Structure 1
Amino acid sequence: MNTINPVAASASSPGQSNATATSTQQNTKGLASDFETFLKMLTAQARHQDPLEPIDSTEYAAQLAQFSMVEQQVQSNDTLTALLDQMATSNMASLAGWVGMEARAESPMYFDGTPITISPNPAKTADQAFLVVKNSDGQEVQRQAISIANDSVQWAGVDDGGAPFANGIYSFEVESLSDGQPVPSGATEVYGRITEAQTQGNSVVLVMQGGVTVPANAVSALRNP
């Protein structure tokens, strides 16, 4: 199996564009509100001015200049939001080539009877490590000792008696022990097959086998099955 690791920077751009788009949309709403308020105040001021003491032309010119600046900022933010939407679509198109490949991420994955490849990350100070498997209800269904030196583990999906577990979504975590005491483990990442790439708002997510969704920027490696 060919593994691509780490994932290219294009995988991180969807999440970044999503955060930027959210901030831009919030700023645009605030500016649009200020713009409307400013316009109403300026109109009311012109309508109710004293004909004998009209608004000073210099002051009025300054207010009109401010009005123009706010209007331009609103238009600029609208344009930026549209560009970010286009970027999300472009990111999804660029990830279309990932469909059919296997992605590694810290996420539950679907088990269909085929062994699942897991990348555990036991604590460096650990002298023991266990792979803990939970079903979709969060119930622990298996706990097995693993080597603290292994880069990857194959979970066969069978119980201690050799009977296969039911097809479904399972989550995996590693428990590390040092002198019998728990120590923090790193992220436990799992490989799953990508079936679809889609946009959600301004972000791109990958749909894995079984319907599990993973943000594109959460993928740390790709490989051909």
Structure 2
Amino acid sequence: MSVSGISGSDGAQTTTKTAQTQLTADINAFLKLMVAQVRNQDPTKPMDSTQWVAQLAQFSTVEQQVQSNGKLGDVLTELKSTSERIDLGYIGRKVEVEGAEVGLKEGKLAARYSVPKGATSVGVHIVDADGTVVRSFDGNSSAGTYDLAWDGTTSDGVRLPDGAYTIFVDARDEAGKAVAGTSVTYDATVTRVRRAEGETRFDLSNGVSVARDAILSAA
């Protein structure tokens, strides 16, 4: 199950309110001007009423559009609220996540990597936050999806601290050229849902935080 978010409703509402306020002020000013001109018109040269009616009709059309946008803003706000309530429903659920950043927790990291067709050699490299390769494995070169388990130690047996690490799958063909189409997925439990920098973030049991579109499925 995946859920798409709806954003921007706050901005839409603000824009609509501003436009409505400005439109009301413009109409009031226009009506005052029209009344003043009617009072002071030359009786021998009356104004063209058709022109005034046309302008009033234009104002009326714009006002209706602004009101429609206001109603649309209300709908978007309600949909956003519904989406946020759905997001909260992920808490405590096991999710499948796609992403190269995977969490090492209590000396355990478990993930899956996929290999596309055409690969003849595959190297799986674990990279720390500084961009340093801390552990490498020979991966399976046959097309398919394979499990990866890491105990948090380097090839020299040094135990590394828990945290987020990036898994880089380097698939090559017979000519040594990189083969596109590799991916990394893993399972984790959602422990918290929060808003950060304008987007919904899902904090996971392995210590990693992901965006909504990184979640492939939920159980």
TM-score of the alignment, normalized to the shorter chain, above 0.5: yes
Change (3 A) 1:112 1:55: farther
How far apart in 1 are the matches of 2:121 and 2:21? 59
How far apart in 2 are the matches of 1:85 and 1:95? 15
Q: Which residue of 2 aligns with 1:117?
A: 110
Change (3 A) 1:70 1:150: same
Change (3 A) 1:202 1:112: closer
Q: Which residue of 1 aligns with 2:187?
A: 191
* 1:85-142 superposed Cα distances (whole Å, 9 cap, x missing partner): 2222222222333212333122523321253332323232111112222222333222
Contact 1:88-1:202 at 8 Å conserved across structures: no
Deviation at 1:26, TM superposition (A): 8.8
Give the secondary-structure state (helix, strand or coil) at the position aligned to 1:88: helix
Superposed CA RMSD in Å reads 3.4
Structure with the higher fraction of residues in helix conformation: 1
Q: Which moved more, 1:192-201 or 1:57-66?
A: 192-201
How far apart in 2 are the matches of 1:33 and 1:107? 49
How far apart in 2 are the matches of 1:192 and 1:38? 56
Structure 2 residues without counterparts, runs of 5 or longer = none
Share of identical aligned residues, percent? 22
Q: Which residue of 1 aligns with 2:7?
A: 18
Structure 2 residue 165 is the aligned partner of structure 1 residue 164: no
Q: Which moved more, 1:75-84 or 1:170-179?
A: 75-84
Deviation at 1:167, TM superposition (A): 0.9
Give the secondary-structure state (helix, strand or coil) at the position aligned to 1:120: strand
How far apart in 1 are the matches of 2:35 and 2:136? 78
Which of 138, 149, 158 aligns to 1:154? It is: 149
Deviation at 1:166, TM superposition (A): 0.7
Give the secondary-structure state (helix, strand or coil) at the position aligned to 1:150: strand
Deviation at 1:70, TM superposition (A): 1.9
* Structure possessing the higher radius of gyration over alpha carbons: 2
Deviation at 1:22, TM superposition (A): 7.7
Q: Which residue of 2 aligns with 1:35?
A: 23
Structure 1 residues without counterparts, runs of 5 or longer = 1-7
TM-score (norm 1): 0.73
Give the secondary-structure state (helix, strand or coil) at the position aligned to 2:178: strand
Q: Which moved more, 1:85-94 or 1:205-214?
A: 205-214
How far apart in 1 are the matches of 2:118 and 2:10? 41
TM-score (norm 2): 0.75
Q: Which residue of 2 aligns with 1:83?
A: 75
Q: Which residue of 2 aligns with 1:102?
A: 94
Change (3 A) 1:211 1:162: closer
Change (3 A) 1:12 1:163: same
Higher relative contact order (CA 8 A, sep 6+): 1
How far apart in 1 are the matches of 2:60 and 2:28? 14
